[in-house]
Structure 1
Amino acid sequence: MTELRRLSSLLIQAETDVVTCRQCAKQIAQWLGLPALDQIRLATAVSEIARNIYQYARSGAFHFYLGRDARGSVVSIIFDAVDQGPGIAELNRILDGSYVSPTGMGVGLRGAQRLLEHWDIQTSPGGTRIRGGKAVHPPRPFPDDRQIETLQRDLANAGVADPFVALQEQGSDLLLTAAELQNKQRELEATNLELETTNKGVVALYSELEKTAHELTAASESKSRFFSNMTHEFRTPINIIENISKLLLTGSDDELNAEQLKQVGFISAAAGELAEMVNELLDLAEAESGRMEVVASAFSLESFVEQLRQFTAALALRYPRLSWEVISPDHPVMLETDRNRLFQVMRNLISNAFKYTPEGSVTVRVFQPDEKTIEMVVEDTGVGISEENLSRIFEEFARIRMPGLTQVQGNGLGLPLAQRLAVLLRGQIRVSSGLGKGSRFSVDIARCLHEEDADDLENLSLEGLTVLIIDDNEGDRYLLRRLLEPYKPVIIEATSAGDSIDKLHAVRPDIIFLDLELPDIYGADLLESMDWAMHARVLINTAKPLSDSERLALAGQCAGVLPKGQANYAESVLRQVRRLSGSLRDAN
């Protein structure tokens, strides 16, 4: 808490007393060594308040103090301005600047408040008391009694102020303040120029980062296409090796001797492993590229668990030292999801459990935590996974070395593929494990594959986003407009490439629907002319039949391809828009 030591008191009874108050405030600030501008600010604030007292209350008093903190240092110059006038009406509006008076009343009061760090005002019909002050920074040592007495004597000897001298001093103060304002203005202009230059650099950097991000996306898509194309090409020679080796093993032409049978057996087994790896690579590439289709069908959970039981029983024949159990759900449940993809996920998890359990048990359980979710758990008592390796098991081609296991087969693609398939089924895979304590893999999926999509579309909002439709067909533009209007975007239409150019550059839409067959230019050529930042916002919207190569080429340059006239066109449009709007909001 600040302790106050009084320095001086002045009565305000004449206009010259206003000048005396101003000079007293400035003299105290100068005596403490405050900067010249702080001296002027304090003196100006005191002068305005003293003038208000004289004009509206006709008389009053000013008391000046030094503020001392707990350490004994001067931290402020404080004054009390007291009058017994009629009080200040509309005080709050005067201080917040909303009150307008034809006489100018209140302007000086509000200005004084802005010049000071300390401010408190109390007013009533019986009078007004204003306490204000200027901070002293850094704090000064508090003067002793002798120094204070000297100051008080100097203030008393100053006598009645000469208005003409005071006017000259105020003119000098104004010149000093004006010079300081000019310096501040120059500093502000320099700062603004620096900020403008920095902003241009940030914009350029952002554009470069956006371009780099799209280049990385294109590179990832190229990798996926490479995997997809190459695995398709691998399948033919692998299939030939597999089938010819089977012919040799069955002795269709001539019987093989024991050594030859052993060698061909190795070839057949290796071809089988290679075929499995190729299939997993193909599935992984399709899942990464977003081209993998999931086809929902209705089936009972009980029948699916029976399928898992049959698979586990066949697999267990290779592991005679293991016990296993597949536990059925306790009540009938219907699923509506992709049965084949779900089985692929569970097959990978169950196979891994057997591979990494030299002896002990493997258990598969099925739960229904709530109405919308199914949980399938695969537990084993195997070697387990160390904490540092838990984050690596879902990396492609990651092979974790396990103590005591040297002959485990695999290519490191099973778990990454299972995780991606689980995501496609609106779910996820969770794992808990400890070295030597076994592992527990849990798969949570949506019971109905498309139910969550419907919920997402109900909550879709495009408010604040701009959609540009480039299409010369009025009916197609109308259909898209009616589909999107309920979600409140700003919709702009263009009937040709030429009509769209100014809109693309002036507005920079968030989402662009682009028809390929425009009257003045082919849509793909217009896409090629756009900067890279725009490509990720373009949805090709076309009725033109596309070959696989055309579709792949377009997919690498835009956000998606929407064939007009497909059975679920409206749902596909909204799903693509939801995906794009989500990525736009995440980026912001």
Structure 2
Amino acid sequence: MTDLRRLTSLLIQAETDVVMCRQCAKQIAGWLGLPTLDQIRLATAVSELARNIYQYAGSGTFHFYLDRDPLGKAAGIMFEAIDQGPGIAELQDILNGSYISPTGMGVGLLGARRLLEHWTIETGPTGTRIRAGKAVHPPLPFPDDRKIEGLRRTLASAGLADPFIALQEQGSELLLTASELESKQRELEATNLELETTNKGVVALYSELEKTAHELTAASESKSRFFSNMTHEFRTPINIIENISKLLLNGTDGHLNPEQLKQVGFISAAAGELAEMVNELLDLAEAESGRMEVVASAFPLETFVEQLRQFTAALALRYPRLTWEVIPLEHPVVLETDRNRLFQIMRNLISNAFKYTPEGSVTVRVFQPSEKTIELVVEDTGVGISEDNLGRIFEEFARVRMPGLTQVQGNGLGLPLAQRLAVLLHGEIRVRSVPGQGSQFSVDIARRLHEEDDDDLRSLSLEGLTVLIIDDNDGDRYLLRHLLEPYKPLIIEAASAGDSIDKLHAVRPDIIFLDLELPDIYGADLLESMDWAMHARVLINTAKPLEEAERLALASQCAGVLLKGQPNYTDSVLRQLRQLSGSFRDAH
């Protein structure tokens, strides 16, 4: 309270003074135009505090004020309740609601505090002083001296309060409050009903979103299967076109005239581009579906950099206006990752750098940011990429138009594939670019691929999941069971397709290892007989040598293909399990 104008003061010495104090508070609140319920709240709080003074201190004083805010408006009704009593014991317990008194002392104090916005209290052996009040929302114009004097005269002429009339007034106020509470209760019930209805809608929306997510996942898998199957089918006619074109260009069956050579050259070049796109589509489909395997091997970084140098030198022959440089790491480092996939990434990035640099330079640098990572950077001084297009370059089939470059070849698959391959190598591709000045693509990958795999496998848990092993070979079943037991799945075995049927339908396993060469039916036929939801849980586990066509066809219908007896068989099994168990838990 900083700028207060006193309105009136009252002595509390008798029961009637308590009633007077209540009426005075209500009159002031009504004079200011506060709503009826706010008038009742203020009067009730004042009445409780005045009664406490009378009952526990014997006597005291009430001072009523009008509070002025910094803008000069009436912001609240304030009062001071002062007595010279023995003070209030256990004050903190009273105010936090934990104090229990056989006489009821403290209940009025706590109730008054809850009815008011402003509240401070000082108490001790020499007495108690309470400063409190109720805010006015919004603040009102501050009354002038004439209006305040008129209020004072009205309060002074109120005379001695009649307790019986006051009791009747309190009864009416109680009825009004009860009616208001009943109205609020109805509003609360209506709100609760609306919230319940909304809640049901939210639940239904979540259900619809979950269904849509499953449909999108299925659509993505269908797209990957389509790409895998169709691009594989494209390979044969493309190979025929390429080979026949070469025969014609070489003049095997007779020489062509210059115009025919030109036309066949166009056919051969187009077939080569189509073959490259088919290969990238196959790789992209496998990477998206998680079926692309990466085979780590140890090799010196310097030999890989030399491979990049040779590739860049051969590529630069097509771009005589460009200079290039490959800068190796100064100290020897051994990588343990998939060399072919890493080269595939760098080949795409270096090719792009040349394509989008009409003149200037292309530089390949190698860094080692830490003991566990390697960074390969491809920089160019080409046309650059605008801020708006940076987010699009990793989208499939996205072709960003560059000013001044109309003859750039490509299908928009190179960068998306490179990014997915980088993720498979436990890394990422970052890009910085300034239009007109050039671009910088940075590839960060793990130096040891399986070091991170080992960390993930140590946290692998199959607890709560059911694994069905369908294999007629006792030794193979034993090997898988022995490999899986540390991860605590429930393992079920079947030695034939017939033995597995009841388990497939009764248990619906979470993960299924399926051998192809079963005694009663071919494993692929058993897979075909399962409903499609089960296909995503099946890992083909076979020792049969598979042609590329059959392997791709099988891979498009299940979660993965494992080849028994391969050097990395155990790691492949655990990696597939990590992926399958993770996706299964996410789905649930």
**Fold similarity call, TM over 0.5:** yes
- Measured against aligned partners, the alpha-carbon deviations of 1:70-117 in whole angstroms (never above 9, x if no partner) come to 343322111111111121122111111122222222111100001111
- What is the letter of the counterpart of residue 155 of structure 1? L
Letter in 1 for 2:278: V
Between stretches 568-577 and 101-110, larger displacement belongs to 568-577
Which of 505, 520, 534 is 1:521 aligned to? Answer: 505
1:50-449 alignment to 2 at 5 Å? Answer: 50-449=50-449
Q: Does the aligned pair in 1 maintain the 2:85–2:126 contact within 8 Å?
A: yes
1:458-469 equivalent positions in 2, closer than 5 A: 469=465
- Is 1:544 the counterpart of 2:548? The answer is no
Structure 2 residue identity aligned to 1:283: D
Q: Equivalents in 2 of 1:359, 1:436: separation in Å?
A: 11
Tell me how far apart the structure 2 counterparts of residues 282 and 424 of structure 1 sit (CA, whole Å). 16
Is 1:562–1:573's contact at 8 Å kept on the other side of the alignment? no
C-alpha deviation, 1:252, in angstroms: 4.0
Query: Quick check: 1:472–1:518 contact (8 Å CA) kept in 2?
Result: no
Q: Determine the C-alpha separation between the residues in 1 that align with 2:511 and 2:410.
A: 42
Whether contact under 8 Å (1:517, 1:523) holds in the other structure is: no
Kindly state the Cα deviation for residue 2 of structure 1 after the two structures are TM-superposed. 4.5
Deviations 1:253-293 (A, max 9, x none): 44555554444333322222211111011111112222211
Structure 2 spans left out of the alignment, 5+ residues: 470-477, 493-499, 517-522, 542-561, 563-568
Which range moves more in the overlay, 226-235 or 207-216? 207-216
Question: For the residues of structure 1 that align with 2:483 and 2:84, how far apart are their CA atoms?
Answer: 76
CA contact under 8 A between 2:396 and 2:412: conserved in structure 1? yes
Change (3 A) 1:482 1:53: farther
Could you say what secondary structure the match of 2:378 adopts?
Answer: strand
* 2-structure distance, mates of 1:113, 1:559: 64
Q: Is the 8 A contact 1:64 1:80 kept in 2?
A: yes
What is the TM-score of this pair, normalised by structure 1?
0.82
Q: How far apart are the structure 1 equivalents of 2:106 and 2:535?
A: 62
Distance 2:348 2:529 in 1: 29
SS at match of 1:200: helix
Name the stretch that deviates more: 14-23 or 175-184: 14-23
1:490 match? none
Q: Which residue in the other structure is 1:529 paired with? A: none
Which residue in the other structure is 1:567 paired with?
570
Q: Cα distance 1:43–1:304, how it changes in 2: closer, same or farther (>3 A)? A: same
Q: Counterpart of 1:483? A: 487
Partner of residue 33, structure 1: 33
Structure 1 residues 187, 362: closer, same or farther in 2, change over 3 A?
Answer: same
Which shows bigger deviation, 222-231 or 372-381? 372-381
Residue identity in the other structure for 1:96: N
- SS of equivalent residue, structure 1 residue 88: coil
Q: Deviations over 1:516-559 (max 9, x none)?
A: 866482566xxxxxxxxxxxxxx831233476794999787787
2:118–2:134 Cα contact (<8 Å) kept: yes
Q: Is the 8 A contact 1:62 1:80 kept in 2?
A: yes
Q: Quick one: distance in 2 between partners of 1:106 and 1:540?
A: 63
Contact 1:362 1:378 in 2 (8 A): yes
Q: CA deviation at 1:188?
A: 0.6
**Contact residue 465 and residue 510 of structure 2 kept, 8 A:** no
Whole-angstrom distance in 1 between the partners of 2:535 and 2:63: 75
Aligned: 1:17 with 2:20 = no
Farther off after superposition, 85-94 or 352-361: 352-361
Distance 1:548 1:272, change over 3 A: farther
Tell me, in whole angstroms, the C-alpha distance in 1 between the residues paired with 2:529 and 2:410: 31
The one-letter code of the counterpart of 2:570 is A
Q: Counterparts of 1:268 and 1:238 in 2: how far apart (Å)?
A: 10
1:141-199 Cα offsets, whole Å, 9 max, x none, are 33333333332233223333222222111111111111111011011111111111111
Q: Tell me which amino acid in the other structure corresponds to 1:418.
A: A
Do the aligned residues in 1 keep the contact of 2:119 with 2:132 (CA within 8 Å)? yes
What secondary structure sits across from 2:292 in the alignment? coil
Deviation at 1:307, TM superposition (A): 1.2
* Mapped partners of 1:458, 1:177: distance in 2: 66
Q: Do the aligned partners of 1:517 and 1:542 also contact (CA within 8 Å) in 2?
A: no
Residue 385 of structure 1 and its aligned partner are, at CA, apart by 3.2
In structure 2, the CA distance between the partners of 1:136 and 1:393, relative to structure 1 (3 Å rule), is closer
- By how many angstroms is 1:442 displaced? 1.6
Pair 133,420 (structure 1): closer, same or farther in 2 beyond 3 Å: same
Question: Bigger CA drift: 249-258 or 63-72?
Answer: 249-258
Count of residue pairs brought into register by the alignment = 539
Counterpart AA for 1:540: D
Report the AA paired with residue 541 of structure 1.
I
The 2-side partners of 1:210 and 1:151 are apart by 67
Is the contact made by 1:471 and 1:518 (CA closer than 8 Å) also made in structure 2?
no
- Shift, 1:441, TM fit: 1.8
Q: 1:156 to 1:190 in 2, by over 3 A?
A: same
Q: How much has 1:439 moved relative to structure 2?
A: 2.6
CA distance in structure 2 between the partners assigned to 1:336 and 1:188 by the alignment: 66
Structure 1 distance, partners of 2:149, 2:524, is: 98
Whole-Å separation in 2 of the counterparts to 1:480 and 1:459? 13
Q: Whole-Å Cα distance in 1 between the matches of residues 381 and 67 of structure 2?
A: 75
3-state SS, counterpart of residue 105 of structure 2: coil
Identity of aligned residues (%): 74
Answer whether contact 2:11 2:60 (CA < 8 A) is retained: yes
135-144 vs 571-580, which deviates more? 571-580
Task: Provide closer, same or farther for how the CA distance between residues 46 and 383 of structure 1 changes in structure 2, counting only shifts above 3 A.
Answer: closer
The C-alpha deviation readout for 1:296-331, integer Å capped at 9, x for no partner, is 221111111111112222222333333322222100
Whether the 8 Å CA contact 2:87–2:128 is kept in 1: the answer is yes
| Structure 1 residue 359: Cα displacement | 3.5
Mapped contact 2:284–2:417 kept (Cα < 8 A): yes
Give deviations 1:384-431, integer Å, cap 9, x for gaps: 334443333222222333344343322221122112211221222222
CA contact (8 A) 1:224 1:286 kept: yes
- Measure the CA separation in 1 of the matches of 2:209 and 2:533: 18
Segments of structure 1 that go 5 or more residues without pairing to the other structure are 486-492, 496-515, 525-538
Distance 2:211 2:169 in 1: 62
Give me the whole-angstrom Cα distance separating, in 1, the residues matched to 2:370 and 2:529: 40
TM-score normalised by the chain length of structure 2 = 0.82
* Paired letter, 1:27: Q
Matches of 2:274 and 2:463, distance apart in 1: 47
Q: Secondary structure at the match of 1:121?
A: strand
C-alpha deviations, 1:468-525, integer Å up to 9, x for none?
A: 545799x99999897379xxxxxxx999xxxxxxxxxxxxxxxxxxxx866482566x
Residue 473 of structure 2 is matched in structure 1 by none
Contact preservation (8 Å) 1:422, 1:445: yes
Q: Which amino acid aligns with 2:512?
A: T
RMSD: 3.5
Residue 291 of structure 1 aligns to a residue whose secondary structure is: coil
Bigger Cα displacement from structure 2, 70-79 vs 341-350: 70-79
Q: Please tell me whether the aligned partners of residues 468 and 513 of structure 2 are also in contact (alpha carbons under 8 angstroms).
A: no
Tell me whether 475-484 or 136-145 shows the greater mean CA deviation. 475-484
